[in-house]
Structure 1
């Protein structure tokens, strides 16, 4: 399979969808949700084919850095497209789609190691729940950025432009916390299955990922608990969401990047 031509086609579709949604967000063109979803879905098809090809090449559901990035972004795109059918989250495509396209282009050009480790049902559960948790929480982080922009604009009485196109702040925050709940549940499954089914954590260089994943879980759990007990919302919720996601990003990709890119043998 020639990955680069597919990646280029996916990038073009991603860019077209994001451009239209971005122009609609600043009220330069009318909203066309069906068009944005259609272009995004076409891009996701090509993206998904490349991700499957990379997984088959590596022979493992615990892939390397570049394959993990390609897989995580296509899952985030698919989840966003599906969620947008029920929740007002399609504006996130303005940032997510171009980022997914860039990751895809870079991922197809980076070397991918082969892996002959056996795959059990338990490890598959861990891998799938990890990827889904990362994708859902990525969307939550982008939603938090929009909430932060909207919150600051309303605080300074600037209600034109982007803010005028967004749903009400209460709706935006409700969607954010719903995403955080789903992401926390998936992250809990990922961590629990990792403890049960993964062995020789130190030998597999998984100790850093485990510690950081637990720290991210603690950040998200604290935020959700304090939201429902103490009413945390607004910029505090935005900061905690972004902080937790940065920790999760380091957990999922920090060690892979150091081991496979920085410390790789020439």
Structure 2
């Protein structure tokens, strides 16, 4: 059933991607149509069902690269749907749906993730869900930071690539970036706090130092410094984008290291 729902979601995203490419890349008016909104919300709901069903049911949790890609794609669409209520995001759709469609396709091609044996209690499931949501938001923040870099180059040069020229204004992308970073930072903070409680319950230690924990706290520090720097010193533009990318890289290194341990060393054992 989940496979069929995923295929349906992928089809909806392809239709939306084609629709937005026809509108945005041909310079047509950016009017919103009712069928467009219905398709967006339908894709969001079906995709959300695929992701949340294992969490709300008593099924055993499997999580790996495939599930992470799917969650990140769903968060991308959610950010866009919410964000376009506050900002003019016209022009963001072609790269957005290319990104989402690729992630969904990869999630279908990759094998299911490893069984999460520790995520059986309410606390552990909460910690796991918070961690994955924070990670997905930070990946989206990194993607927005990359688009900001392209948009910044377009401002300082004559970029003829239509995908770059039709992007939302740099200020809009910056506002979207800080919204993702702020929410990601809050969720990452909650994930670290629940992780400390979970560790205390299981091992009696408030904190077990692993490379994943170290990288998570380093990433948390980077994003915290970025938010403080924006308030106190007005950090923005390319500088803010670089800090967001640095925080993402640290979190990504922690995740990749964990996957190597799980998929290489444990499998060999």
TM-score (norm 2): 0.78
Distance apart, 1:222 and its partner CA: 2.0
Match of 1:189 in 2: 190
Structure 1 stretches of 5 or more lacking a match? none
- Between 1:172-181 and 1:98-107, the stretch displaced more is 98-107
Q: Indicate how the Cα distance of structure 1 residues 24 and 121 shifts in structure 2: closer, same or farther if over 3 A, else same.
A: same
Mapped to 2, the partners of 1:250 and 1:49 lie a distance apart of 29
Q: Indicate how the Cα distance of structure 1 residues 136 and 58 shifts in structure 2: closer, same or farther if over 3 A, else same.
A: same
From 255, 258, 262, the counterpart of 2:260: 258
Distance apart, 1:200 and its partner CA: 4.6
Mapped to 2, the partners of 1:64 and 1:123 lie a distance apart of 17
Give the root-mean-square deviation of aligned CA atoms.
Answer: 3.4
Distance apart, 1:54 and its partner CA: 5.1
Residue 211 in structure 1 maps to residue 214 in structure 2 = yes
Structure 2 stretches of 5 or more lacking a match? none
Distance apart, 1:186 and its partner CA: 1.7
Aligned residues: 261
Q: Where do 1:1-266 residues align within 5 Å?
A: 1=1, 3=3, 5-34=4-33, 35-53=35-53, 55=55, 59-60=60-61, 63-89=63-89, 91-109=91-109, 110-117=111-118, 119-156=120-157, 161-162=162-163, 165-198=166-199, 199-200=202-203, 207-251=210-254, 253-263=255-265, 265=267
For residue 238 of structure 2, give the secondary structure of its aligned residue in structure 1.
helix
Distance apart, 1:194 and its partner CA: 1.1
